């Protein structure tokens, strides 16, 4: 029925997006400019016991979701491939300052880029600041330096 339903979808729009269903873990990598470097942290992971990370699970005080700043049981090889991919994506898409890049990781080791969040959460429970800290950078200092750098560059322009 796939072909029939794809044709039917084109009746509503000249553009149709097809996505492969991926069963696996969702990993997140914080990517940011630090001086002249593009830093990609080791992958983190959010594990939602209810199976779906909805608004309530994300923000409720009764959330059962577990946040891992470093995703457990991810091989060094996979982590390094994800980090390399993140740095490439950051450069190719001309991203600036900070972003969080999310992937799906299958048991086979194959991974798929899921989304790029160019303004990731910055709350105390958000992974971005926690991952930056885990990588050895002070988040407050990072923000001040980034703002000052952008102010300096805007004055030149």
Q: Would you say the C-alpha torsion 44, 48, 49, 52 has a positive or negative sign?
A: negative
Long-range contacts of 130-135 (CB under 8 A, 24+ apart): 130/44, 130/67, 130/69, 131/28, 131/29, 131/30, 131/41, 131/42, 131/44, 131/69, 132/30, 132/32, 132/41, 134/41, 134/42, 134/69, 134/70, 135/30, 135/39, 135/41, 135/42
> What is the rounded CA–CA span in Å between residue 77 and residue 143?
30
- Average pLDDT over all residues of the chain: 91
Mean predicted confidence (pLDDT) in 29-55: 90
- The Cα–Cα gap between 152 and 17 comes to 41
| Mean pLDDT value across residues 4-28 | 92
Residue 53 pLDDT grade (very low, low, confident, very high; cuts 50, 70, 90): confident
pLDDT, tens only, 84-136: 999 999 999 999 999 999 999 999 999 999 999 999 988 766 889 999 999 99
23 has pLDDT over 70: yes
pLDDT computed for residue 124 by the predictor: 63
Q: Quick count: other Cβ atoms within 10 Å of Cβ 112?
A: 13
Residue 150: count other Cβ atoms within 10 Å of its Cβ. Answer: 12
Q: Which two tokens stand for residue 86?
A: 């993140």
CA distances from 32 to 64, 75, 87, 152 (A): 29, 22, 9, 18
Q: Kind and range of the H or E element at 68?
A: strand 66-68
Average pLDDT over residues 54-63: 83
């Amino acid at each position: 029925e796939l072909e029939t339903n794809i044709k039917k979808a084109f009746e509503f729009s000249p553009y149709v997006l097809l996505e492969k269903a991926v069963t696996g873990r969702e990993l997140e990598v914080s990517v940011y400019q630090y001086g002249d470097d593009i830093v990609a942290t080791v992958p983190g992971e959010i594990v939602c016991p209810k199976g779906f990370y909805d608004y309530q699970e994300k923000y409720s005080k009764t959330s059962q979701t577990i946040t891992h700043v470093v995703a457990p049981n991810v091989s060094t090889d996979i982590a390094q491939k994800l980090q390399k991919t993140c740095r490439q994506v950051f450069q190719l898409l001309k991203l600036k300052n900070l972003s969080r890049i999310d992937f799906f990781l299958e048991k086979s080791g194959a991974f798929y880029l899921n989304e790029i969040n160019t303004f990731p959460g910055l709350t105390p429970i958000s992974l971005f600041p926690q991952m930056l800290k885990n990588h050895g950078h002070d988040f407050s200092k990072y923000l001040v330096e980034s703002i000052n750098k952008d102010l300096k560059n805007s004055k030149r322009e």
